[in-house]
Structure 1
Amino acid sequence: MEALPRETIVDVLEDRLRTDILDGRHPAGSYLPPERQLADGYGVTRTTLKHAFGRLVQAGLLETRHGVGTRVRDYARLGGADLLPMLVRHDAKWVHEIFEVRRGVGALIAERAASRATRKQCAQLHVLLEAVREADGADAVQLADVEVHRALARATGNRVYLLLTNTLFNAYLPVRSLLKGPFTDPSAAYERLAPVVAAVTAQDARQAHAAADAYLRATERIMLEGLA
């Protein structure tokens, strides 16, 4: 068994600062109080504060200028999709917005894949689809399902679609354990996804779009029930 990670004071402070920023206690564009004042307020050392700052700078929530101070970045204007996992951890309502994008992007990917997939890619899709039915346990089924969607994105011939697919999956990783509803029954998961693969390999773009939209709506409904 793998030991569980221990939460350090830096972890706690990072989480507290992140929450204060995302809740608006430190508004976008504002400068944080001087380090000494802030450290005293949180009851930590300045070294601990600097470590937490470093993580939040890397996450895209803060920017530090030597001799000027540390300012809260306007993540809604300047941030990228890499912030989504952190935002989902802070507020699960983001999942609803992610699912809306998932529907639109996923259906478009299936449509493009139907027009562009090679014979080799079609054959691989069937292999990956079969892996969904043969997977053991909800977690394994879910991961097998992800690989089918990655293969669909690759079949479009557009690498940006693959990156978008990865981004959307990574976005709800923080709550993935609550989203296993559609994957508890391998056969049912297979049956839901099979029409998408069938339409893509038949090179029927319109049907692929419709099948993917139906699949995404059905799985979204089940996953949101799990969150509720």
Structure 2
Amino acid sequence: MVQPISRQGVVDALVARLRADVLAERYPPGAYLPPERDLAARYGVTRTSLKHALVRLVETGLLETRHGVGTRVRDYKRDAGADLLPFLVAEAGPDWLAEIFQARREIGALVAAAAAEHATAAQREHLRTLVDDVRAAPTTDVAQQAECAVHRTLAAACRNRVYALLVNSLLRAYDEVRHLFAAPFADPVAAAARLAGLVAAVAAGDRRAAHAAAEAYYVETERLMLAQPAE
């Protein structure tokens, strides 16, 4: 039985519930959702709330509405974009992690190389400051957040807006399960030392060294993350 949704934040909650059901293929790609009256009753909401939720899911590309026919589930693996990654990680968890780590390594190295070539003096200095922030972080979570700021700064410095958007999506996906991958940041001083080589290569403007340093950094942090026992 589907549990009814409470009145508080009903549209947001309904969007989340429907999105989870679509991603879990409880409504498989190509299938039509039940008629609105039945679907609203199933989730314990009004048809007005349901209509608002469906509109939002159509906008994300998960659903499509055909006038006079109904609402059809789209194949997100073919039609969706990287903005769906955080929800896929939240719903499917480990099934997506290997591919996310691969993208993290490959895109991250390209971003670092481009940042080495294009970063401004202010961005290079900010990267050094962020390494200091990681080193001085009072908690593991603060160290993780400071490390994420390094990647956002590299993305901003690379002067490729597509890379920057992809980095945003990867970081959002990571943020959903950040607590599961805290091992590399348990010792902030060691975490900062691992970052220092990458930042130094970018700050020096050495594109090749930055690419290699980024690859090494991502491989090592991935090793530490995957070695951490699941909580």
**TM-score higher than 0.5:** yes
- Label 1:43 to 1:123 Cα distance change in 2 as closer, same or farther (>3 A): closer
Q: Give me the whole-angstrom Cα distance separating, in 2, the residues matched to 1:227 and 1:160.
A: 34
- Could you tell me how far 1:47 is from its partner in structure 2? 4.4
- 1:159-188 residue CA offsets vs partner (Å, 9 max, x unmatched): 332222212101222212222221121101
Cα shift at 1:99: 1.2
Amino acid at match of 1:61: L
CA contact (8 A) 1:118 1:155 kept: yes
Q: Which residue pairs with 2:39 in the alignment?
A: 38
Maintained 8 Å contact 1:113/1:156: yes
Deviation for aligned residue 1:50: 3.4
**2:180 corresponds to:** 178
With over 3 angstroms needed to count, the CA separation of the structure-2 counterparts of 1:117 and 1:11, relative to structure 1, is: closer
Give the Cα–Cα distance (whole angstroms) in 2 for the partners of residues 38 and 227 of structure 1: 40
Tell me the equivalent position of 1:190.
Answer: 192
Residue matched to 1:218? 220
- Indicate if the aligned counterparts of 1:179 and 1:227 stay in contact, CA closer than 8 A: no
What's the CA shift string for 1:56-106, capped at 9, x where partnerless? 334432222443211112211111111111111110121221111010011
Question: Structure 1: how far apart are the matches of 2:194 and 2:225?
Answer: 14
Residue 110 of structure 1 is matched in structure 2 by 112
Structure 1 48/102 Cα, relative in aligned 2: closer, same or farther at 3 Å? same
When residues 40 and 121 of structure 1 are mapped into structure 2, their CA distance, relative to the original with a 3 A threshold, is closer
Q: Distance in 1 between matches of 2:163 and 2:9?
A: 38
Other-structure match for 2:170: 168
1:11: Cα distance to partner? 6.2
**Helix, strand or coil for the counterpart of 2:65?**
strand
* Residue 146 (1) aligns with residue 148 (2): yes
CA gap 1:226/1:46 in 2 versus in 1, 3 angstroms: farther
The range that moved more, 39-48 or 164-173, is 39-48
**1:119 pairs with 2:124:** no
Distance in structure 1 (CA, Å) of the matches to 2:201 and 2:28: 48
1:78-117 correspondence runs (5 A): 78-92=79-93, 93-117=95-119
Q: Post-superposition shift, 1:27?
A: 2.1
Runs of at least 4 residues of structure 1 off by over 4 A? 6-16, 40-45
Q: Partner of 1:28: helix, strand, or coil?
A: coil
Q: Aligned residues: percent identity?
A: 58
> Aligned with 1:63: secondary structure?
strand
3-state secondary structure, aligned to 1:172:
helix
* TM-score (norm. length: structure 1): 0.84
Alpha-carbon separation, structure 2, partners of 1:158 and 1:17:
34
The answer to whether the 8 A contact 1:26-1:72 is kept is: yes
For the Cα contact (< 8 Å) 1:113–1:200, is it kept in 2? yes
Matched, 1:209 2:205: no
Deviation at 1:126, TM superposition (A): 1.3
CA distance in 2, matches of 1:87, 1:72: 16
Instruction: Give, as a single letter, the amino acid of the residue that structure 1 aligns with 2:137.
Output: A
Between the aligned partners of 1:65 and 1:88, the Cα distance in structure 2 is: 29
Say if 1:197 and 1:179 are closer, same or farther in 2 by CA, change over 3 A.
same
Relative to the length of structure 2, the TM-score reads 0.83
Distance 1:210 1:33, change over 3 A: same
Q: Does the CA-based 8 Å contact 2:86-2:169 persist in structure 1?
A: no
